[in-house]
Amino acid sequence: MRLCVPIPCFFRNVPFEDAIRTVGRLGFDAAETYNWKDLDLDAVRAACEESGVELLSMCTTEFRMTTPEHRSLWLSGLAESCEAARRVGAGRLITQVGQDTGAPREQQHESIVKALMEARPILEKTGTIIMLEPLNTYVNHPGYYLTSSAEAFAIVREVNHPLVKIVFDIYHQQIMEGNIIPNVTNNLDCIAHLHSAGHPGRNELQYGENDYRVIFDAIDRAGYTGACGLEYRPLMEPLESLREARRLYGPRS
């Protein structure tokens, strides 16, 4: 497993390209980000190539998938984001599904599936993987629709396309359901990326209730070959926090 650095979590008021170079100097070879609209995509790609850091993922620009009336907006945002990902060299996009509208859950579930079905030719054009993200509603995202990893896996299997996957956020799923190791290792066919943070607090991994060394070892043994983003708010000085994360949990490839 590769450890991946989400640039916005650790680098404030630093040019993105300089942050990528710093990530490389710290010994990491993977990074991710969220909003790509403000990036100079060509400059970011050049910095990645220069530093040996792969920009693994970014986010789509539209997150409303539970409502059929917003599907065209989500699809147009996906097409735009896929082109940006191709240009910068990122192979994955994260999308959230939007708020629970109050409609019957089976209708919202169906709306998400239909959006992903219609997205398949857009994804195939660039070879970009789209990753749904289940989130927690107890601490960070009240009212969000997709909280269950089981439903997320069911959606992926219903769509049944190699470019439609899940980002499994261990922090969010620890809050919502626990049972982390079996839920990940029994569903690796649906998972393209991991996120991590310590709970409670969403801080360094070593400060939470999970033993991430045990979790990561089990996921490695199960055959996961992807990356895990260190998506937390550092209590330590950010660069020292990254050094300590690498000392404790990596390299894992």
Per-residue pLDDT tens for 235-252?
999 999 999 999 999 875
| CA distances to 6, 149, 171, 173, 192 from 179, in Å | 25, 11, 12, 8, 19
Q: pLDDT per residue over 28-46, tens digit each?
A: 999 999 999 999 999 999 9
pLDDT at res. 251: 78
Report the CATH number at residue 228: 3.20.20.150
- Interval 92-101: pLDDT, tens: 999 999 999 9
- CB neighbours (10 Å) of residue 143? 10
Amino acid at 45: R
Strand partners, 194: 168, 228
What per-residue confidence (pLDDT) applies to 120? 98
Helix (H) or strand (E) holding 92: strand 92-95
Stretch 65-89: mean pLDDT: 98
Q: Taking a C-beta distance cutoff of 8 angstroms, is the pair 164, 127 a contact?
A: no
Looking at the predicted structure, is the pLDDT value of residue 116 above 80?
yes
* Average pLDDT for 8-14: 96
Question: What is residue 252's predicted lDDT score, i.e. its pLDDT?
Answer: 57
Looking at residues 188-200, what average pLDDT do you find?
A: 98
Q: Which helix (H) or strand (E) holds 87?
A: helix 71-88
- Compute the distance between CA of residue 225 and CA of residue 193 in angstroms, rounded to an integer: 9
| pLDDT-above-70 percentage for the chain | 99
Domain range for 107 is 2-249
Domains in the chain: how many in total? 1
Give strand pairing partners of 132: 95, 166
Mean pLDDT across the stretch 76-82? Answer: 98
pLDDT at 253: 52
